[in-house]
Structure 1
């Protein structure tokens, strides 16, 4: 599989994304469970599934199709050379002051290329949850790393993250990834309680790091990406639920910039084993005004 991915990385980015888009539509048509979750999550956020579901499925497939190119293409035509950066000044200012930068990158656009670009500027440590399938884990570990380091999503992984931020380096997290029981709180996400990690707030409060919301917008026809930065200006409250709510609101705002490129098929509202499920709001409470 590694040889196949390396071979695919030599193909044009636009071709890989187009093939991935067809794959995404095929999966949407063939999987009732995936289709139902994608449509339900779109509706929960106030979007009309009949108008957006196919576009979301196509973009999800494009994300999968571009993986070989993003992971293994090197040289002047690598994915990181096709990224236009907008709004990174607050991150540069934090670095000049010797402060760490905490990048929060949701499952939006090409989130894989975001950390690669950040690693071009300074060392970055990314929280890493090993895939369940061994062959996928092998692919992930075979990627060129450079200044990009990964740590496991465990209690032991907390120390390298703290150390990196205190050393004025960068850390990357997926803030909309459902944490394990005991590592999150229930906070609203598009109007519905979602088990949300408390780690970003704790890291920022312990280190004084600059929080930056980041996503790489996928441009059409293999033209590359625009890496958008949005600084999180105000200090987070001490209350973990309030802090998680504020972060979720910031993530929602980012997603609404390009909702077609969000992974609406991700099971964001699952209750991890051992967590206490939150009371779900009624449809009237979650309907957009």
Structure 2
């Protein structure tokens, strides 16, 4: 299997994106569970299937492009919009917490950031969840620790390493719409429905005074590469944990609405971690 991944990584990006689009539609048509979740999540955000049908193909492109991004020695073409907000944070001597939802090519977001700034400001630290298959776990650990990137596991040790990086004025990257294990999150609104949401992003900022930069890396048509769009959080993060978590969810919603056709609507965003009581519906006493 690792050999197959390496073979796929050598294919040109336009071909990978074309194959991925087919893969995405095959998965959508073959899995009723995935299809229902995709449609329900999009409807929760106020979108009809016609408005987000392109996201079906983009989910497949995400899978197809992964070997290319993990293993190819050269990164694809990527332009950057909004880099000045990152430069301003570096000038102020602050660490940076980059936040991106499951949209577009979030793998490319951190790789492009590291390519631009790791040389001058130190490596970017990211969390990853080790795969269950030993061969894939080894591959992911090696592949995600690209030049300028330090990948740490989702453990207490990994969190401590992220804190150290921020206190040194370096950067970390997180997907705050990833559902955390029970005990590591709070119920907070996401497109009007309670979703169990990680507290880690807010805690990192509150404990280190880091700047928050929102990132969205869009795929360009016909496999021409990517465009990374960066912007600061509109207002300082709340000092209290619960409103800070809700504020981050609101920021993620805004990013998704900027490019709903590339969001991973099939992700189980509203799943309930084991052993966790279900949240009360919005508006309940």
Tell me what 1:66 maps to.
65
d(CA) in 1 for partners of 2:227 and 2:30? 32
Asked if the contact 1:52–1:260 (Cα under 8 Å) also holds between the matched residues in 2, the reply is: yes
Choose from 74, 79, 82 the match for 1:84.
79
Matches within 5 A, 1:115-126: 115-120=110-115, 121-122=117-118, 123-126=123-126
Find the residue that maps to 1:163 and give its secondary structure. helix
Find the residue that maps to 1:256 and give its secondary structure. helix
1:39 CA drift (Å): 0.4
1:8 CA drift (Å): 1.5
1:276 CA drift (Å): 2.3
Tell me what 2:209 maps to.
208
Asked if the contact 2:53–2:261 (Cα under 8 Å) also holds between the matched residues in 1, the reply is: no
Q: Which segment drifts farther, 158-167 or 126-135?
A: 126-135
Asked if the contact 1:25–1:54 (Cα under 8 Å) also holds between the matched residues in 2, the reply is: no
Find the residue that maps to 2:14 and give its secondary structure. helix
Q: Which segment drifts farther, 112-121 or 185-194?
A: 112-121
1:263 CA drift (Å): 0.7
1:53 CA drift (Å): 5.2
1:273 CA drift (Å): 1.4
Q: Which segment drifts farther, 143-152 or 39-48?
A: 143-152
1:137 CA drift (Å): 2.0
Runs of 5+ consecutive residues of structure 1 not aligned to the other structure: none
d(CA) in 2 for partners of 1:242 and 1:133? 38
Pair 1:107 & 2:108 matched: no
- The RMSD of aligned alpha carbons is 1.6
Matches within 5 A, 1:4-23: 4-23=4-23
d(CA) in 1 for partners of 2:51 and 2:273? 28
1:32 CA drift (Å): 0.4
d(CA) in 2 for partners of 1:238 and 1:181? 23
d(CA) in 1 for partners of 2:177 and 2:194? 12
Q: Which segment drifts farther, 194-203 or 150-159?
A: 150-159
Deviations along 1:222-263, one digit per CA (max 9) or x if unpaired, are 110000101014222233221111100100000011101111
**Which TM-score applies when normalising by structure 1?**
0.92
d(CA) in 2 for partners of 1:32 and 1:53? 18
Runs of 5+ consecutive residues of structure 2 not aligned to the other structure: none
d(CA) in 2 for partners of 1:182 and 1:21? 37
1:134 CA drift (Å): 3.2
**Which TM-score applies when normalising by structure 2?**
0.93
Matches within 5 A, 1:209-248: 209-248=210-249
Moved over 4 A (4+): none
Alignment: residue pair count: 278
1:274 CA drift (Å): 2.3
1:128 CA drift (Å): 1.4
Tell me what 1:273 maps to.
274
1:73 CA drift (Å): 1.8
Choose from 70, 83, 96 the match for 2:91.
96
Pair 1:190 & 2:185 matched: no
Deviations along 1:18-68, one digit per CA (max 9) or x if unpaired, are 00100110111100000000000000000012x145422111011111112
Asked if the contact 2:21–2:61 (Cα under 8 Å) also holds between the matched residues in 1, the reply is: yes
1:172 CA drift (Å): 0.5
